[in-house]
Copies of this chain bind each other. A is one copy, B any other.
């Protein structure tokens, strides 16, 4: 993990910026090559209009994490994706967050619990239920893949998974 080069004030600013306009979330993504058929993806995303992409590029350097891209709707975003990177980010910024403390806590729990899943599909399903919970915290309305979908998939494939 990187050594933090940010001062407390810089961290507080970034936490405020994230609370204002950023997003911390977890989602289930269908992945045929994954053991349980789904990936638990965790992300921290900062948004800005394209004109201010310099700001996201600087933030990416400061954080030494994430990728900056311009989206089709002409917004720019810096996304930090992946369990290790998001864990490091949340651990560093949690003390400074105000509005997004609950979602940060839940996403961190998802990351921790994911590590203990091993080959246990019930345990995997429990983590998926935590992911469902984040949809409420982030007021997400367009979730298509929920733990119920995963459960149905696992019912069908459990015997195959167990034989692996």
Chain A residues within 8 Å of B, Cβ to Cβ: 8-10, 12-22, 48-49, 52, 55, 96, 98-99, 139
Contacts and interface: CB of A to CB of B under 8 A. Distances in A.
A53 to B, nearest CB: 12
Main secondary structure, interface of A, reads helix
Contact of A13 (B13, B48, B49): B13
Contacts of A48: 99
Contacts of A13: 12-13, 15-16, 19, 96, 98
A62 to B, nearest CB: 11
A88 B98 CA distance: 24
Count identical subunits in the complex.
2
Contacts of A49: 139
Contact of A20 (B12, B22, B98, B139): B22
24 contacts: A8-B9, A9-B9, A10-B12, A12-B12, A12-B13, A12-B16, A13-B13, A13-B15, A13-B19, A13-B96, A14-B16, A15-B16, A16-B16, A16-B18, A16-B20, A17-B17, A17-B19, A17-B20, A18-B20, A19-B20, A20-B21, A20-B22, A48-B99, A52-B99
Contact of A21 (B21, B55, B139): B21
A90 B107 CA distance: 35
